[in-house]
Structure 1
C-alpha cells in the first residue's frame, strides 16, 4: 500500500469521538470551539461534524475535515493543544487519523 501523499493532495482527518452519555451537547460545544480555532490555521480546508442516528453507537460524533497537507494538520493540532486555551471535555475520547483518497465516485 502506498503511504505517501503528494504535495498537491489534500489529506482527510476522520476523528471518531466516544461521547459520555449525557454529554452530547457539551461535546458539540467543545467541537464548535475547536473548529473555530482550526478554521484560522494555515492549511485548513473544511470540516463537517456528523452525529450518529443510532443512540447506542460507539462513536456518537465523527468529524471529517480536509487539510492541505499532513504537516499543516500536525501544526494546527499542536497549536490547538498549546495555544487555543480550549479545555478538554472530561470523558470525551477522540480517535483521530489521517487518510488519503484512493477511490472516489
Structure 2
C-alpha cells in the first residue's frame, strides 16, 4: 500500500479536492526502495490505465529521476478538480492503491497554470 505524504502540509491534497478549479495538473512525486521500482511502475501503470477511462482525464506522463535516484514524478492533466476528485475518491481506485509496494511514498498536489507576460499563458 502506498503511503501518502503532503507535498504542501499547509494545503494537502484532501483540502485541494474541495476547490472548484480547472483545468488542473496533478503533480505526484513517488519515492520507493530500489528493489521495488518495477513494482511501483506496474502499480502506476494499472492506475494510469484506469484513470484514462475516467471523465475529465486528458493525459499523463511518468518520469524517473536521473542517476541512481529512486524518485519518480508523474503529472496528469484533468479538466477540473471535480473530475479528478471523482476518479481519485472512487472506491475502485482507492482499493487499487494496495498494489503499490510498502516502501512507496507519494506526494500528490494539484496545480493551475499561471499566466506570466511574455513567458506563458494560463
Specify the TM-score bucket, using the shorter chain as the normaliser.
Answer: 0.7 to 0.9
Aligned length: 97
For the structure 1 residues 100 and 5, does the alpha-carbon distance in structure 2 shift closer, same or farther, using more than 3 Å as the test?
farther
Which of 35, 52, 55 does residue 39 from structure 1 map onto? 52
- Offset of 1:18 from its aligned partner? 1.1
**What TM-score does the superposition give when structure 1 sets the normalisation length?**
0.81
- Offset of 1:74 from its aligned partner? 0.8
Inter-partner Cα distance in structure 2 for 1:14 and 1:54? 21
In structure 2, what is the equivalent of residue 71 of structure 1? 82
Which of 40, 48, 54 does residue 27 from structure 1 map onto? 40
Pair 1:56-2:53 in alignment: no
Which of 98, 102, 105 does residue 110 from structure 2 map onto? 98
- In the alignment, structure 1 segments of 5+ residues that lack a partner are none
C-alpha contact 1:5 1:100 (8 A) present in aligned 2: no
